[in-house]
Structure 1
Amino acid sequence: MNIKSPLRHAGGVLASLALAGCASFSGDAGMGAIGPLVQARTGAPARVLKTDADRRALDELLQARLGQPLTVDGAVEIALLNNRGLQASYWELGIAEADLVQAGRLQNPAFGFKHTRGGGDVSIERTLTFNLVSLITAPLASRIEGRQFEQTRLQVASEAVQVAADTRRAWVEAVAARQAVDYARQVAGAAEASAELGQRMRQAGNWSAYDQAREQAFHAEAMADVARTTQAATAAREHLTRMLGLWGAPAQFRLPERLPDLPAAPRDIADVEQRAVRERLDVQAAKLATERTATALGLSRATRFINVLELGAVRESDGGAQARGYEVTLEIPLFDWGGARTARAEAVYMQAANRLAATATDARSAARESYQAYRSAYDVARHYRDVVIPLRKKISDETLLRYNGMLLSTFELLADAREQRAAVSAYIGALKEFWLAESGLETALGGRLPAASPSQGAAQ
């Protein structure tokens, strides 16, 4: 009778702890934890599609964004919502949240019932067992799962930022490829006209077979260039379509006719290394992984000698007599003292610490490299815009004046057109490389770049 009251009191305490430890679900599959992160780094929201209302909202967004030429920001907004691979990653948060909630709940008690009969006697045994180790370590386990959830949050947000960056690059590639096709067709049209002119001049006896062959060869190369750039444009567009997760009628979206103009000045970022280490989500995730491993190491040391500890209330009936009591089961560390588990935890921690250092080192290097590539790409594109293209235009104007004054031949006029074609194509390529370098710099620094002074035709 003296044991019954403490057991009842212990049961009340365990019930209170169980109720206090019951964590609840967020209702948004954990997406509220990454929304601000993704919004700040990409300029677009991230949401998991769970209901028909979410799908209808996405359809309305697609109609609004695809009803006009698709901008780079519109492409990023669509990709963050409609890329199915990314949507699958979003559900990793739901899995991690479920593990976190589960870690905050105590293990269910075990009830045992034993009935035996022999020699005219009946023996009945009832037991109610609680796992005390799970009770003692529940707060620590919840903290570990909390860090795991935070790490998953950063990993999913990092993947969303990466998808946004890949979408920006795919958009730049697709628009540049379309611009290259348009210019290649213009060149092919001029080459066709010059080839016809050469044929007529050859028939009139005013041109040599050599000159006519040169114009025909240029026309043939221009037509091949149209086919080549058309195929490249198709591949680039399909890549963008995959990033956007589109098919059917929405996949027939329109793109701008040309890339945005070069900004008036490049962004001047003095602390690229510090910004990368501070802002990059993969660095933050590696840091959390190290902290979580350290916490797990503490758990391994705390349970080194007590691996199984269970407390149970026992009630026995033997015939007409009844007995009450309790039972404690303790694993004796006779053969396994837990040294191997502790050594393994320490090794895992050192592994995580070195991976954190490697991630930070790589982030610093990538930031320096990307910033140098960004500035170099800007300088090259600006050189073409401010020096090469104006010089080529000046040469073309002078050539045309001399041709009109009958100081140059038709052949020389056409040769100048070919040289101008090469310069314009090179400028389109340099402009594309600049916008790709800017996207790469955003990825290396972990988020959108500080605003610069854009010129006419900004990327927004």
Structure 2
Amino acid sequence: MTIQTSPPLLRAITAGVLALVLGGCATFSRDGGLDAVSTMASARSGQDVRLPKASDDGDTARAELDRLLQAPLTADGAVRVALLNNRGLRASLAGLGVAEADLVQAGRMRNPAFSFSRMSGGGETEIERGVMFDLVGLLTMPIRRDIEARRFRGAQLVAATDAVRLAADTRKAWFNAVAAAQSARYAEQVRDAAQASAELAQRMARAGNLSALDQAREQVFSAETTAQLARARHRATAAREQLARLLGVWGTQTAFTLPDRLPDLPAAAREAGNVEAQAMRQRLDVQLATLDAESTARALGLTRATGVINVLDAGYANTSKSGAPRENGYEIELALPIFDWGGARVAKAEALYMQSVHRAAHTAVTARSQVREAYSAYRTTYDVARHYRDEVVPQQKRISEETLLRYNGMLMSVFELLADARAQITGVNTAIEAQRDFWIAETELQAAINGSGGSTVALTASASAQAPEH
């Protein structure tokens, strides 16, 4: 359909469309959305997030990485290395560029369509030209930009969640690696003592001062400690490699050193307070689920607005005929809702909205439960570790001192002294594991409050070595 109009009116319409297009064009941000991610991650993990692009930033990051890896690696230092160097996190942060590109694209109109036709016959030639603009895209641009802005915010929340989760996983891996190395060193001491005991038993048996049964017992214990040391060393290697994977190190960087022992317990455990309310304010997965519900509601409004009319193009057209003046006008193209009135699209959008609402509610309920469970594990592991520190280990030390006094007074044999030492192996290893479990539970509690929830903390500490019964 072609309708004639005056050139001044056509120029006014064109100018208005161009003004709207130019005013609605979105541009890329300076930081690519990373500053918001870094702020969220820093508030929850104590470490900011950077994605070096320029050579100077890369050199600065490498210098900081080398400095951290050359010194004994602390838990905070390990988190810093992971946030600087983990390639999986880099991939997640790079996804911000995809979301921002969609946001910028939503602020730009679809390119105009140019049409050209030429028809000739009977000595006459007719040429038609047209330029069509997407009016529906122009009218719905604010809504689409708002939807994509929310999705971009969601991408930032996802990236921040990945950063906070990486920080928590790295911290837990650090505690596991330090505890495993500490247990391996203790297992080596036990093995050395057992070998000395077995050699002494062999000499006494040759001299006729020890029965064959007692000698066999000492030999079996020595053999068991050798196998236990091999398992302990492998556990230490596996825990260290898990930490190395999270740190993203390879080659000479894997030669980082760890402290000889776990950090001491804090003087007192933190009070529960209102951890549920705190989690509702700070949990990133709760914020993401809420944002998803809001974005879906906004998309539902767009679907309803374009449910019947989703194609409306308008533009300038002119026609030239042989021997006749040029004809100018405009053209409108409208998709007629004859077969599809958009009911299915609206119904789908409404179902997606209700799905997002229920998912947000489920996320909130799950978060409340996780934080309660995490605090219970935190408090329990603290009490257990403190019990070993203040009760079990001191009592074992007193027993050892009393046993040594009796041995020095020739009231018990050397093998009774060694048997008492073997009996303490289980207690020492369990104390190390209890201390490790507390620090892991503390990390899980922080993840349950700030991140996207922590995993269940195992409260059963298995002994790494068992003394044979006599």
Same fold by TM-score greater than 0.5: yes
SS at the partner of 2:424? helix
Aligned partner of residue 34 in structure 1, secondary structure = helix
Is residue 2:247 matched to residue 1:244? yes
Structure 2: distance between partners of 1:279 and 1:185: 45
1:381 equivalent to 2:399? Answer: no
Aligned equivalent of 1:369? 373
Give unpaired runs (5+ residues) of structure 2. 453-470
Q: Is the 8 A contact 1:389 1:423 kept in 2?
A: yes
Superposed CA offset, 1:178-219 (max 9, x none): 101111111111111111111122122221111111111111
Tell me, which stretches of 5 or more residues in structure 1 are unaligned? Answer: 449-460
The answer to whether the 8 Å contact 1:300/1:342 transfers is yes
**Corresponding residue to 1:88 among 84, 91, 95:** 91
Alignment partner, residue 20 of structure 1: 23
| Paired residues for 1:301-340 under 5 Å | 301-321=304-324, 322-340=326-344
Map Cα deviations across residues 147-188 of structure 1 (whole Å, 9 max, x no partner): 000111101100110011000011111111110111111111
The answer to whether the 8 Å contact 2:28/2:100 transfers is yes
Counterpart-to-counterpart distance in 2, 1:2 and 1:108: 24
Match of 2:301 in 1: 298
C-alpha distance in structure 2 between counterparts of 1:272 and 1:422, whole Å:
36
CA distance in 1, matches of 2:252, 2:58: 16
Structure 1 residue 55: deviation in Å? 2.5
**Matched AA of 2:232:** T
One-letter amino acid matched to 1:230: R
Specify the SS of the correspondent of 1:347.
Answer: helix
For 1:173-322, what aligned pairs fall within 5 Å after superposition?
173-321=176-324, 322=326
Structure 2: distance between partners of 1:376 and 1:3: 83
RMSD over aligned Cα atoms? 1.3
Which of 36, 41, 48 is the equivalent residue of 2:39?
A: 36
Q: Distance in 1 between matches of 2:48 and 2:276?
A: 27
Contact 2:5 2:329 (8 Å CA) reproduced: no
Report the Cα distance in structure 1 between the residues aligned to 2:358 and 2:5, rounded to whole angstroms.
Answer: 57
Is the CA contact (8 Å cut-off) linking 1:40 and 1:447 kept in structure 2? no
Hey, what does 1:393 align to over in structure 2? 397
1:384-443: CA deviation from partner (whole Å, max 9, x where unpaired): 000000000000000000111111122211111011221111100101111111111111
C-alpha deviation, 1:53, in angstroms: 2.6
1:436 paired with 2:453, answer no
- Which residue matches 2:106? 103
- CA displacement at 1:89 relative to structure 2: 0.4
TM-score (norm 2): 0.93
Q: Secondary structure at the match of 1:112?
A: strand
- Say yes or no: does 1:343 pair with 2:333: no
Say if 1:121 and 1:319, in contact at 8 Å, map to a contact too: yes
Please, what TM-score do these two structures have when normalized by structure 1? 0.95
Measured in 2, the distance between the counterparts of 1:6 and 1:91 equals 47
Quick check: 1:49–1:87 contact (8 Å CA) kept in 2? no
Contact 2:165 / 2:451 at 8 angstroms: preserved in 1? no
Q: Measure the CA separation in 1 of the matches of 2:51 and 2:189.
A: 45
Equivalent residue number for residue 429 of structure 2: 425
User: How far is the alpha carbon of 1:2 from its aligned partner?
Assistant: 4.8
Which residue is equivalent to 1:402? 406
Please state how far the C-alpha of 1:52 moved relative to its aligned partner.
Answer: 2.7
Q: Contact 2:5 / 2:330 at 8 angstroms: preserved in 1? A: no
Q: Does 1:411 align with 2:410?
A: no
* 1:284-322 Cα distance to aligned partner (Å, 9 max, x none): 001000000000001111112211111111111011321
- State the aligned residue count: 448
Moved >3 Å (runs of 4+): none
CA shift, 1:377, in A, is 0.5
The answer to whether the aligner puts 1:352 opposite 2:356 as a matched pair is yes
Q: CA deviation at 1:447?
A: 5.5
Shift of 1:72: 0.7
What's the offset of the Cα at 1:35? 1.1
